[in-house]
């Protein structure tokens, strides 16, 4: 369990450092994201961004679990 928590912490630190780079690449403004702008209302629903992040994180966590559970 400690290996998993350490790895998760490292991954979160790396994601935090890459956040500004990901913003410049357009993450958060993908074609499937819904933006509604009215007079005094701004609604943003990051649908495509959420799906993309979910797929990437699922793949990363699958690889991490496989790596730690492959045995000595």
Percent of the chain with pLDDT over 70: 96
Tell the residue number behind the tokens 């991954």, with chain if given. 11
For residues 6 and 44, give the distance between their C-alpha atoms in angstroms, rounded to a whole number.
33
User: Stretch 32-60: mean pLDDT, rounded?
Assistant: 91
Q: Are 28 and 49 contacting, i.e. CB atoms less than 8 angstroms apart? A: yes
Whether the pLDDT of residue 55 is over 90: the answer is yes
pLDDT higher than 90, residue 7: no
Helical (H) or strand (E) element with 43 = strand 42-45
8-34 confidence digits (pLDDT tens): 888 888 877 877 677 777 777 889 999
Q: Is the pTM of this model over 0.85?
A: no
Numbers of helices and strands, H then E, in the chain: 2, 2
């Amino acid at each position: 369990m400690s290996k998993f928590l350490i790895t998760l912490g490292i991954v979160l630190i790396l994601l935090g450092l890459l956040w500004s780079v990901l913003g410049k690449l357009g993450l958060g403004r993908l074609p499937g994201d819904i933006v509604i702008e009215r007079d005094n209302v701004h609604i943003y629903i990051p649908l495509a961004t959420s799906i993309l992040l979910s797929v990437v994180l699922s793949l990363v966590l699958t690889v991490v679990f496989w790596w730690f559970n492959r045995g000595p």
